[in-house]
Amino acid sequence: MAKHSSLDVGTIPYWTDSASFPSFPKIDRDLDVDVVIVGGGITGLTTAYLLQMAGKSVALVERSTCGDVDTGHTTAHVTMVTDTRLSELVRRFGRSHAQAVWDAGLAALGQIDGIVAEQKIDCAFEWVDGYLHASEAAPDANEIASLKEDADLAHELGFDALFVADVPFAGGPGIRFSDQARFHPRKYVAGLAAAVRAQGGQIFEHSGAEQFYEDPLRVEANARRLRCRDVVVATHNPLAGVASAMSATIFQTKLAEALAEVVSRTDSACRAGSDPATSAPRAASAQGRR
Ligand SMILES: Cc1cc2nc3c(=O)[nH]c(=O)nc-3n(C[C@H](O)[C@H](O)[C@H](O)COP(=O)(O)OP(=O)(O)OC[C@H]3O[C@@H](n4cnc5c(N)ncnc54)[C@H](O)[C@@H]3O)c2cc1C
C-alpha cells in the first residue's frame, strides 16, 4: 500500500503506510452534474460529501490520487487553534472576528465527529486535550507572558483554555485546550470517499482539471467535458492548468488583488464596529485525555 506522492521527499508518511485507499477510474466520458469539485483532499471530499447529502449530483476530479497530497502529509491535529496566535487575530480583526474564527474551528470539529458517527468511519477519531507549548522547556519571561495572555484571552472569549506550567511530553509551560481531537486523516477521507460513492457521487483520479469554460459552465479533464451549474476549486494551491507560466502568474496576481480587497473590506467592517483587532497558533501537540 505504500507509495510516493507529489510531495515526495523520499519518505512515506505514516498515514499512507498504515491505511489502504480505494482507487477510482480516470474520467472517460462527458458528464452533466450539479457541481464539479476539483481536488480530492479533505476539502474536496468533504465538499462532495456535504453536497451529496444536500441532494446535489457531484463529480470530483483529482489530478493524481485522493488523499495523498497535503491531506496525506498532515500532522493531523484536529483543533480550533490556528497557526496565527489568538492575540494576533484580535489585534488585526477584533475580538468578535477572532472568536468567530475559533468558533468555526469548533464547529468543524463537531462536524467531523458527526460524520464519523453517521458514516461509521473507522479512523480512530478521539476527543483529546490539545496543547500549545513554549518553543523550549525553559522559555524566557516574554514567551511565558505571551502564553498566559493567550490563555486568558481564549478563556475570556469563551474557549476552554488553561495556562499550565508543565505540558505533558513536551515539558515546560503552555496552554491546554479541552475538547480538541485526533484521527487518522487518510482513513477518514477514505470513509468520506466511500460515502460519496455510495450516494451516487462520481470520483475520478488521474484526471486533472485543465481548462474551465463559461456559457455553458464546464470543466475539461482528460479531454472530457464536465458540464455543471457550479465549480468548487479545492486544490489547496492555486491552479495554473495548461496556461503558460506568465498567464498563470498574471491570473494569480489578479486573484491576490481580489483577496486583498475582501480582507480590507472585512478589516474596515471591524474598525467600523466596536471591536478592537486580533488572530492565533496551532496546538503543538495533542495528548490523550487522562
Ligand atoms: C507537514 C504538514 C503538517 C500539517 N499539520 C496540520 C495539523 O496538524 N492540523 C491541521 O488542521 N492542518 C495541518 N496541515 C494542513 C492540512 O494538512 C491541509 O490544510 C489540508 O490537508 C489541505 O487539504 P486540501 O484538501 O485543501 O488540500 P490537499 O490535500 O493538498 O488536496 C488538494 C488536491 O487537489 C489536487 N489537485 C491540484 N490541482 C489539481 C487539478 N488541476 N485538477 C484536479 N486535482 C488537482 C491535488 O492533487 C490534491 O490531491 C498540515 C500540512 C502539512 C503539509
Ligand 1 contact via 42 beta carbon (within 6 Å): yes
| For ligand 1, atom 15: residue with the closest CA | 74
| Same domain, residue pair 3 and 131 | no
Q: How far is CA 184 from CA 54, 108, 112, 171, 257, in A?
A: 26, 16, 12, 25, 37
pLDDT tens for 82-122 read 999 999 999 999 999 999 999 999 999 999 999 999 999 99
Instruction: Flag whether 116 is in a domain.
Output: yes
- How many structural domains compose the chain? 2
Ligand 1 contact via 76 beta carbon (within 6 Å): yes
Reading across the β-sheet that carries 230-233, which strands appear in turn? 202-204, 58-61, 35-38, 230-233
Ligand 1 contact via 13 beta carbon (within 6 Å): no
| Same domain, residue pair 89 and 43 | no
| Same domain, residue pair 99 and 175 | yes
The predicted pLDDT at position 257 comes to 53
| Same domain, residue pair 83 and 175 | yes
Pocket test for ligand 1, best of 75, 212, 287 (most atoms within 8 A of CB): 75
CB neighbour class for 118 (10 Å; exposed up to 12, middle 13-18, buried from 19): exposed
Pocket test for ligand 1, best of 26, 43, 236 (most atoms within 8 A of CB): 236
Ligand 1 contact via 105 beta carbon (within 6 Å): no
| 3-class secondary structure, 268 | helix
Minimum mean pLDDT among 69-73, 230-234, 268-272: which range?
268-272
High-pLDDT (> 90) share of the chain, %: 76
| Same domain, residue pair 30 and 65 | yes
The predicted pLDDT at position 93 comes to 97
Q: pTM for the complete prediction?
A: 0.85
Instruction: Flag whether 87 is in a domain.
Output: yes
Instruction: Flag whether 6 is in a domain.
Output: yes
22: region left, alpha or beta (phi > 0 left; psi from -120 to 50 alpha) = beta
d(CA 204, CA 266): 37
| Same domain, residue pair 40 and 143 | no
| Same domain, residue pair 173 and 205 | no
Instruction: Flag whether 259 is in a domain.
Output: no
Residue 259 near residue 104 (C-beta atoms within 8 A)? no
| Same domain, residue pair 175 and 279 | yes
| Same domain, residue pair 66 and 87 | no
| Same domain, residue pair 175 and 205 | no
Give the CATH number of the domain where residue 195 resides.
3.50.50.60
Pocket test for ligand 1, best of 74, 81, 222, 224 (most atoms within 8 A of CB): 74
Give the structural domain span for 124: 79-180+275-290
Average pLDDT over residues 210-229: 96
| Same domain, residue pair 68 and 206 | yes
| Same domain, residue pair 188 and 169 | no
Ligand 1 contact via 173 beta carbon (within 6 Å): no
